[in-house]
Chains A and B, each alone.
Chain A
Amino acid sequence: MLLKPGTRLKSAVCATEVVVVRAPADELDVRCGGEGMVLLSAPDAPGGSIDPMRAEGTLLGKRYADEDLGLELLCTKGGDGSLSLGDTVIPVKGSKPLPSSD
């Protein structure tokens, strides 16, 4: 699907929710737990299960990014599935915290 900053997605097979921070202007196959993610506003469709190969889990507040592609997702609710783009895992983005200025 086409993503833009602010788009919110949920996993079809676990509790994971993400928001798009950055995205390229291409059709993307974002999955969680091996199943395609759906818009947060979409009705729940129970029945699927997590692919055991995609069960590393997601953590609230972590950013997941494919730097080459320009895709970045922020996890707004953690779950048991892991995020992938097609079959490629989307790694956690390393953070270099800035000194606070507030």
Chain B
Amino acid sequence: MHLSMLLDMAAEGFGDRVAFGSKPDGLTYAGLRRAAARAAAWLSSRAIERVGLVDVNSVAVPILLYGSSHARLPFVPVNYRLGDEQLRAILARTAPSVFVVDDAVAGRVGRIDGVELVPVTRFFAELATSSSDAVPAPDGNPDDIAVLLFTSGTTGEPKAAVLRHKHLGSYVIGTVDFMGAGEDEAAMVSVPPYHVAGISAVLTSVYAGRRLVYLPAFTPEAWVALARDEAVTQAMVVPTMLGRVLDVLARDDERLSHLRHLSYGGGRMPVPVIERALAMLPHVDFVNAYGLTETSSTIAVLSPDDHRVAIAATDPAVRRRLGSVGRPLPTIEVEIRDPYGIAVGDGESGEIWVRGDQVAGEYLGRSDATTDGWFPTRDEGVLDDGYLYLAGRLDDVIVRGGENISPREIEDVLVAHPAVADVAVVGLPDTEWGEKVVAAVVVAERATVTEAELQAWVKVSLRSSKVPQDVTFCDALPYNDTGKLLRRVLRSELAALRRDRREGARSGSG
């Protein structure tokens, strides 16, 4: 299940179709195979063990992904938004390597032993003038490492998740029909190349024969404009993007008639946002996808039909599915387990464990995280009637007076309040309870609300231990650039705020 083999199939089956870019002047599948083979020759002339990219999305992503696969080297896309020191440290860990980089990167990180930095403009120029014949595609080993992805690293030193050809290949073959896309289909990718969804989008689009267009830097205006200009039929967004896209569509009275399919994932989608999306774009199929870097992307989906049935339902048990991540893929086994690793019953909460050919669960330089193929995700969830509900990261659970409280449940209640635009709930140290429940709230435009009103609002639906003891109002919550809430950052900000207040009170009284 080597990735090079999948590209060979695409070039063989529909070589003249445009794979990347606009229809009139884009790169075809046959062209991509030639470029990948030429990139492989370029790579093979170097004494390296890894191939990287530090840049926004461009056609360099598929060329390097398939080129490194062809040359049997791991591909390492790295976050260009990292601070200079962190970027330097990560690049140093990949030596000996070559990195194709944004022109500014070399100046930012300086010289690194064993790491050659090649500006992306020079990379393209050298490929174009290369006279070296592409090496024939070797009969690759499915156990080879295809991609290394440094996880967002909200705790400690970033880990490099290992995805082998067999994992990514199984995901592609198991979930996508070869040449399943019509000639008019086009997917827009706005997630960055160092996100697993940025990699899986390339692989599945190539296998399906679906043209892919990149939005290198997300703004909701640019997203809508590109979707319209390129007649985009499908796209994937993270939750923070969708709300902003809907605002632009409403303002411009645009409904993107070509758009047929919108998937979302990578974080918690507030139910009010997806309800609004379903109402505004009735011609679009919505899919909620749940997956992790370590599982080669998607492992469960809430299908378009699930969305339609849930939104139309009067039965609360069916309606509730809109807040689920749907059902596991047929190729994936899911179990909910207690802290001792024992499976719990339907409807009971615990850690989500997964198994399947696409599940890697492996990090560079660390022991395998799987047991008999089962990978503990560190996500808390419930399986109910076949549908998977996420409660959040296990590491985010608040322990108040011996009671385990999932922030997610409180957040879902608060975000349904009309004056709340965004909310996050965290635990802060408390002398009486061990931890106390604290909410950070962004108030909606032109709305006002008080702490007491929000506390009363929560108390209507949840028991009193889950009512936030403090509500802090703020302008925005801290997210990383792929839409993940940075709870650790928020916790330390809130803790600092409380310290300041205490000191302020002390100096005020003294």
Using CB atoms and an 8 Å cutoff, list the residues of chain A in contact with chain B: 5-6, 8, 19, 21, 40-41, 60-63, 74, 76-77, 95-102
Q: Are A21 and B1 within 8 A (Cβ)?
A: yes
Say how far B331's CB is from chain A's closest CB, in angstroms: 9
| CB-defined contacts of B265 to chain A, threshold 8 Å | 101
Q: In the docked arrangement, what's the CA distance between A6 and B1, Å?
A: 5
Q: Does more than half of chain B's interface fall in helix, strand or loop, or is it mixed?
A: mixed
| CB-defined contacts of B170 to chain A, threshold 8 Å | 21
In the complex, the chain B residue whose C-beta lies closest to that of A62 is B178
Q: Are B200 and A5 within 8 A (Cβ)?
A: no
Q: Are B180 and A97 within 8 A (Cβ)?
A: yes
| CB-defined contacts of A98 to chain B, threshold 8 Å | 175-176, 301, 329-330
Q: In the docked arrangement, what's the CA distance between A41 and B51, Å?
A: 27
| CB-defined contacts of A77 to chain B, threshold 8 Å | 12
Q: Does more than half of chain A's interface fall in helix, strand or loop, or is it mixed?
A: loop
Q: Are A102 and B204 within 8 A (Cβ)?
A: yes
Q: In the docked arrangement, what's the CA distance between A76 and B173, Å?
A: 12
Q: Taking A61-B13, A98-B330, A99-B287 as given, write out 8 further A-B residue pairs in contact, using a Cβ cutoff of 8 Å, ordered by the A residue number.
A: A5-B166, A5-B357, A60-B179, A63-B173, A95-B177, A98-B329, A99-B304, A100-B187
Q: Are A99 and B13 within 8 A (Cβ)?
A: no
Using CB atoms and an 8 Å cutoff, list the residues of chain B in contact with chain A: 1-2, 5, 8-9, 12-13, 139, 141-143, 165-166, 170, 173, 175-180, 187, 197, 200-201, 204-205, 208, 234, 236, 261, 263, 265, 285, 287, 289, 291, 297-298, 301, 303-304, 329-330, 357
Q: In the docked arrangement, what's the CA distance between A21 and B340, Å?
A: 34
| CB-defined contacts of A97 to chain B, threshold 8 Å | 176-177, 180
Q: Are A76 and B8 within 8 A (Cβ)?
A: yes
| CB-defined contacts of B9 to chain A, threshold 8 Å | 60-61, 76
In the complex, the chain B residue whose C-beta lies closest to that of A61 is B178
Q: Are B139 and A40 within 8 A (Cβ)?
A: yes
Q: In the docked arrangement, what's the CA distance between A74 and B9, Å?
A: 11
Some 30 contacts from A to B, beta carbons below 8 A apart, are A5-B357, A6-B165, A19-B5, A60-B9, A60-B13, A60-B179, A61-B178, A62-B178, A63-B173, A76-B5, A77-B12, A98-B176, A98-B301, A98-B329, A99-B263, A99-B285, A99-B287, A99-B301, A99-B304, A100-B234, A100-B263, A100-B287, A101-B236, A101-B263, A101-B287, A101-B297, A101-B298, A102-B236, A102-B263, A102-B298
| CB-defined contacts of B201 to chain A, threshold 8 Å | 102
Q: In the docked arrangement, what's the CA distance between A27 and B285, Å?
A: 45
Q: Are B205 and A102 within 8 A (Cβ)?
A: yes
Say how far A24's CB is from chain B's closest CB, in angstroms: 15
Q: In the docked arrangement, what's the CA distance between A95 and B174, Å?
A: 10
Which among B173, B175, B304 is the interface contact of A21 at CB below 8 angstroms? B173
